[in-house]
Amino acid sequence: MKNILVTGGTGYIGSHTVLELLENDYNVIIVDNFSNSHPKVLDALETIANKKIKLFRTDIRNKEKLEQIFKEEAIDAVIHFAGYKAVGESVFQPLKYYNNNLTGTITLLEVMEKYSVRKLVFSSSATVYGTPEKMPLIEGEPTGATNPYTRTKLMIENILEDLSVAKDTWRLLSLRYFNPLGAHNSGDIGENPNGIPNNLAPYITQVAIGKLDKLHVFGNDYPTEDGTCIRDYVHVEDLAKGHVDALQYLETSKKGFDIFNLGSGKGYSVFEIISSFEEVIEEKIPYEITGRRAGDLPVTYADTTKAQNDLNWKAQKNIQEMCRDSWNWQKKHPNGFED
C-alpha cells in the first residue's frame, strides 16, 4: 500500500499526518478546498519534507473531479479528514454540516467503490460518546449526539458499518480523537483557527502573544478537584502516527469496520493546562472565570487499551511537550500562515 489520498490534508491534523506518512515512505495525494486552511500549508509541508507533494484543490463533493483523481492516481487507501468541525456553529447551521460532512463522505465512498479502493481511515470524535455515565470511555460503550456536528460523525460511522456488511472487501476504520494539542516540532505547521478560537489551547496562545486580552475559563464549579473541566489532550504528532499505524492495521485486518479511541488516557483540568502553558511561556496567562459553556461535560478521557493492543499505538508525548510545541508554533508564526 503506497499511494494514500488524504482529504483535508492541509488542515490541522491532516497536515501533521501527511508529514508522518511521507516519513514512512508513503506517497501522498492531498485533496483540499482550503475552506478551513491556507494554501501556504503546502509550501510549509514541502519545505519540511523536502519533497514535492501532489495537491488537488477541490471540494470532495465535486464527484466529477474526484473521479478524475481516482482515474489518474493509483490510490491504495484514503485517510478522510475533510469536514467541518465547529460544534457551536453546527447548532446554528446544521445544514452546512450535514451537507459537507455527509454529502462529502458519501461522494467519496461512492467514488472509492467505483474505483475499487476499499480501505479508509475516518476522523471521528470523542464527542460521539454523548453524555456518558462513567470514565474512561471505551469503544463499545453507548453513543449519543448533543449537536449536529457529532451527529454527522455518528451517522458516518453507521454508514461505514453498513458498507462493511454489504461488501466484505471494505476495510474501514473510525478513529475517535480526543483533544488534539501541540504542533510539529519544526514550529512551521500548527493549528491555525479562523477568527477567535473556540478551543482552549489556541485561545491561550493567542492571549500569550497579545492578540486577545484574557482567557475566559468556562466554569469553575464542576465536580472536579479544582472545579474546571477535565479533558484528554493528545499531541497532534502522536495522533498523526496513529494514522500510519491504522493503515498498517488495515493491511491485515479481517474486520470490515472497526473503531479506536486515540487519546492519551490521562485527564487535565483547564487550570492544569493554563499552568503548563505558563511554565513554557514563562509568563502568567490572564484569565477570568465566566459561566459554564453550554454542552461541556465535566470530565472526559479515553480508555486506550484497544489502540494499544490492536494498532500497537500509544501516545508518547506529555502535556509539557504539547504546550511547548503549540507555543513554539504560535511564537514563530503569530499570524499563522500569513507570516
Known catalytic residues are: 149
129 binds ligand NAD (CB under 6 A): no
Candidates 5, 6, 11, 260; binder of ligand NAD (CB under 6 A) is 11
184 binds ligand NAD (CB under 6 A): no
174 binds ligand UFG (CB under 6 A): no
265 binds ligand NAD (CB under 6 A): no
Q: Measure the CA–CA gap between 278 and 205, rounded to whole angstroms.
A: 10
Candidates 198, 275, 305, 318; binder of ligand UFG (CB under 6 A) is 198
121 binds ligand UFG (CB under 6 A): no
Q: Which stretch binds ligand UFG (CB under 6 A): 25-33, 163-171, 195-203, 248-256?
A: 195-203
Candidates 19, 45, 172, 200; binder of ligand UFG (CB under 6 A) is 200
Q: Please, which residue, 123 or 228, has the CB nearer to ligand NAD?
A: 123
Site string for ligand UFG, 78-117 (x = CB under 6 A): -------x-x------------------------------
Cβ-proximal residue to ligand UFG, closest one: 229
97 binds ligand NAD (CB under 6 A): no
Q: Measure the CA–CA gap between 179 and 190, rounded to whole angstroms.
A: 14
231 binds ligand UFG (CB under 6 A): yes
Partner whose footprint covers residue 104, from ligand NAD, ligand UFG, none (CB < 5 to 8 Å by kind): ligand NAD
Interface residue list for ligand UFG (CB under 6 A): 85, 87, 125-127, 177-179, 198-200, 203, 215-218, 229, 231, 270, 293, 296
Interface residue list for ligand NAD (CB under 6 A): 7-8, 10-14, 31-37, 59-61, 81-83, 85, 100, 104, 123, 125, 177, 180
